[in-house]
Amino acid sequence: MAKQKIVCVLYDDPVGGYPPQYARQGIPVLAAYPGGQTMPSPAAIDFVPGELLGSVSGGLGLRNFVESRGHSLVITADKDGPDSVLEKELVDADVVISQPFWPAYITADRIAKAPNLRLAITAGIGSDHVDLQAAIDRNITVCEVTYCNSISVAEHAVMQILALVRDYIPQYHLVVNGGWNIADAISRSYDIEGMSVGVVGSGRIGLAVLKRMKPFDVALHYTDRHRLPTQVEEELGLTFHSDVESLVKVCDVVSIHCPLHPETEHLFNDELIGKMKRGSYIVNTARGKICERNAIVKALETGQLAGYAGDVWFPQPPPKDHPWRTMPNHAMTPHTSGTSLSAQARYAAGVREILECWFDGRPIRDEYLIVQGGHLAGAGAHSYSEGDTTGGSDEATRFKT
């Protein structure tokens, strides 16, 4: 294959310098994903699983491999605005790699300025930061490392469901601040036992959340455009809803796990949130833009929502004055759930596997594909609809100022 130029956008190194000190030695070795999908299988890796790979100096452990094959690799965190390194380097790039946590927004405008671009790899899951319609129209392959961090996200979602319902974050702050007023501490604290918990999207993450919530003795609900097998519904005692309105009306907690695509953009707006039970909770670890920004703020302020948590924002990074940073009764994290040190080892290996296939002219696994050959393909055909959801992403430049 002719020499390829690869541009890789990763988040900044730790403020205290790279490498960080690690809390644990190594990570467990997993044999396969739930359901049997095989783990990423590159011919080799040049990194230590469990070390920080997702920041610029970690470089997904790719540099030696890419350069030894005669290709070039540019790694940068500078991704937003016309003067960014990404914007300048993309013009003659063949491949772009980006992580959803620090997304390189590959808009139609940027695609138009990058005539050589043939492959966009998501080091993670969720390729909505690429204008998928423009990728379809330009015959650019878009792929991601399906399953690499699905369980990581499911764990985070369960943590945040419990944090909201039991009202953990204010209680923690009370302790740190030297207080002990129990009446204040429990004024918004409930048991989840007996509540109704629903997921929107019962794919890899949504199903893992349902399985993890089952032992809490809650009533479980789900909606998806693909119904789960009857045996799974029976084992978990699931109630299926053919539409999201029906689900939100009966649930106390709604956890969102569908991708962002034109069908789901701003799905949780004033109207849908207005149909929820007063005092419901939303956890959104899917994509920030599935929820309408001001509708969430308003619902928390009026008490229609008792709490909101998640780790996804729009755009990313969110401007310093993004209202979700300061709205009441939230338990947000930055976009971290899918980039634990454990997850990084899987998606770094998956990116290496994809690049090995690309350089050798071998097909990329079908389950990794989102767009190929001018169509949604593989996981993309199952879970997305055509179109673009990157509109407004240029607001990320406001984080810099």
| Site of interaction with ligand NAD (CB under 6 A) | 124-126, 149-150, 153, 200-206, 223-226, 257-260, 263-264, 285-287, 311-312, 335, 337-338, 379, 383
Q: Which residue is nearest to ligand NAD (CB)?
A: 203
Nearer to ligand NAD, 71 or 346 (CB): 346
**71 included as an active-site residue:** no
Among residues 71, 110, 129, 335, the one annotated as catalytic is 335
Nearer to ligand NAD, 287 or 352 (CB): 287
Q: How far is the CB of 264 from ligand NAD (least distance, A)?
A: 5
274-300 residues labelled b (16+ CB within 10 A) or e (exposed): eebbeebbbbbbbbbbbbbbebbbbbb
The CA distance from 54 to 21, in Å, is 15
**In one letter, which amino acid is 261?**
H
**177 included as an active-site residue:** no
Q: Please name the helix (run of DSSP H) or strand (run of DSSP E) that holds residue 234, with its range, or none.
A: helix 230-236
Nearer to ligand NAD, 58 or 203 (CB): 203
Q: How far is the CB of 292 from ligand NAD (least distance, A)?
A: 15
The CA distance from 372 to 331, in Å, is 38
275, 282 in Cβ contact below 8 A?
Answer: no
- Report phi then psi at 258, rounded to 5: -95, 160
79, 9 in Cβ contact below 8 A?
Answer: yes
Q: How far is the CB of 219 from ligand NAD (least distance, A)?
A: 19
Among residues 149, 160, 171, 304, the one annotated as catalytic is 149
The CA distance from 356 to 17, in Å, is 31
Among residues 241, 257, 287, 322, the one annotated as catalytic is 287
The CA distance from 382 to 391, in Å, is 23
**316 included as an active-site residue:** yes
Give the sign of the dihedral formed by CA 85, CA 90, CA 96, CA 99. Answer: positive
Q: Please name the helix (run of DSSP H) or strand (run of DSSP E) that holds residue 344, with its range, or none.
A: helix 341-360
Q: How far is the CB of 167 from ligand NAD (least distance, A)?
A: 22
**37 included as an active-site residue:** no
Among residues 160, 316, 329, 344, the one annotated as catalytic is 316
Nearer to ligand NAD, 126 or 315 (CB): 126
Q: How far is the CB of 273 from ligand NAD (least distance, A)?
A: 16
Nearer to ligand NAD, 280 or 340 (CB): 340
Hey, which residues are catalytic here? 149, 287, 316, 335
